[in-house]
Amino acid sequence: MTQSLTLHKDLRQNHRKLTRARQAVLAIVTDAQRHLTPAEIYRKAKIKYPHLGLTTVYRTLDLLAELGYIQRVHAVEGCHSYAPTAQTHGHHLVCATCGRAEEFTDCDLESLIQSLQVRTGFEINVHMLELMGRCPDCRAPARARKRKTPRGKA
Amino acid sequence: MTQSLTLHKDLRQNHRKLTRARQAVLAIVTDAQRHLTPAEIYRKAKIKYPHLGLTTVYRTLDLLAELGYIQRVHAVEGCHSYAPTAQTHGHHLVCATCGRAEEFTDCDLESLIQSLQVRTGFEINVHMLELMGRCPDCRAPARARKRKTPRGKA
DNA sequence: GCGTAATTGAAAATCATTTTCATTTAGAAA
DNA sequence: TTTCTAAATGAAAATGATTTTCAATTACGC
């Protein structure tokens, strides 16, 4: 709604149009509780707007990410998922079992970055921090059920 | 060399064989100064061992990662690259310009993880931290030359 | 409303990855 | 060393994800 208005303005500034496809895609990503893959977004958005094509989803995700409305999420699995920007002001805490993601902003890496800059001579300007584990919901039944196969290296 | 011996032992324990293909792939990743994609590894390893097939590279990368000899790297670009484990005891500092990667181990996230665990109820057991910026080499000439295009789509 | 550039979706093309399968090979045992 | 067999291999095909092409459609400034 309000977001659509802002988007409309942002698009106009670049001589671009606010289409139903773009609204549908943005709505899906914005309302999602967790990051979604392009295919998932396509499936969900197609319900709102059945005429939608997968190609357009890819193009729209690129566009929205460029404009800063959504963000690419890099998790261990699902390298190319997307999450609304609001949800990603900072970093992710992703549940390895159900994919639910919490975000947090306080990452306090300043001192680390400072010392690394001095030590390495790099100029550091981006950082990506992703934490993974199990959310409360997935931890609870885990005690009762059999544990998931560790699929570990050993 | 020494690494090959260790690998041989590790493989034997799992009833697996030390093949020329595996040696070639491991050598390439181990000697790399930055993380490489499967295709890059294939191209380079094929020089050492021309008979090598791409399929085998994929299978070998999985195996070596499982055994802990190499690690998957998740950077903003190149979601499925690999780096030697030695280089990734901790985290990466990647140069956005030339791709050169430094690694560091002191990440000091314990207090952050602690407080997040309490706050969210998550059990946190993995973290991924990647810093990006420009390395000294790429910074130096930057002052003299024109700055690189910011790589925006617009 | 009109005109036009931007956008679209379907299909084809491309690219990365996995599977299949007949052949080859490492390495344990003789 | 030779023999034997399970493990590993590479080529080709299959699969999946993403991008390109292009003619048709649509948003929106006029």
- Mean pLDDT rounded to a whole number for chain A: 79
Beta-strand (E) ranges in chain B? Answer: 70-73, 81-84, 91-95, 101-104, 123-134
In degrees and rounded to multiples of 5, residue B101 shows phi and psi of -125, 135
- Residue B114: pLDDT band (50, 70, 90) is confident
Q: Is the pLDDT of residue A148 over 60?
A: no
Q: 3-state DSSP call for residue B150?
A: coil
**Mean pLDDT in residue range B32-54:** 93
Q: Is the pLDDT of residue A36 over 60?
A: yes
Looking at residue A93, its pLDDT comes to 78
Looking at residue A77, its pLDDT comes to 63
Q: Is the pLDDT of residue B35 over 90?
A: no
For residues B132 and A127, what is the distance between their CA atoms, to the nearest angstrom?
Answer: 6
Window from A41-45, A86-90, B139-143, B147-151 with minimum mean pLDDT: B147-151
Q: Is the pLDDT of residue A64 over 90?
A: yes
- A7 against A132, higher pLDDT: A7
Q: Which of residues 110-149 of B touch strand C (CB under 7 A)?
A: none
Q: Is the pLDDT of residue A107 over 60?
A: yes
- Residue B48: pLDDT band (50, 70, 90) is very high
Work out the minimum CA distance from B98 to partner chain A, whole angstroms: 12
| Fold of the B2-135 domain | Arc Repressor Mutant, subunit A (1.10.10)
For residues B130 and A126, what is the distance between their CA atoms, to the nearest angstrom?
Answer: 8
| Chain B residues touching A122 at Cβ < 8 A | 93, 95, 102, 131, 133-136
Window from A50-59, A122-131, B10-19 with minimum mean pLDDT: A122-131
For residues B99 and B93, what is the distance between their CA atoms, to the nearest angstrom?
Answer: 9
Q: Considering only CB atoms, which residues of chain A are within 8 Å of chain B?
A: 14, 62, 66, 72, 74-76, 79-80, 93, 95-96, 102, 104, 106-109, 111-113, 116, 119-136, 139, 153
- Residue A78: pLDDT band (50, 70, 90) is low
Q: Is the pLDDT of residue B135 over 70?
A: yes
Q: Is the pLDDT of residue B32 over 80?
A: yes
The structure tokens 């050993």 sit at A154
| Fold of the A2-136 domain | Arc Repressor Mutant, subunit A (1.10.10)
Nucleotides of D under 7 A from a protein CB: 6-12, 17-21, 26-29
Q: Which nucleotide is nearest to A60 (CA to C1')?
A: C7
Which one of A62, A80, A107 has the shortest CB-CB distance to B153?
Answer: A62
| Chain B residues touching A74 at Cβ < 8 A | 74-76, 79, 128
Nucleotides of C under 7 A from a protein CB: 5-11, 16-20, 25-28
Structure tokens at A69: 């409305």
**A124/B130 touch (CB, cutoff 8 Å), yes or no:** no
Assess contact for B87 and B127: CB atoms under 8 A: no
CA angle B47, B51, B54 (to 5 degrees): 85
* Per-domain boundaries in chain A: 2-136
Q: 3-state DSSP call for residue A68?
A: coil
For residues A70 and A60, what is the distance between their CA atoms, to the nearest angstrom?
Answer: 10
Quick check: ipTM above 0.90? no
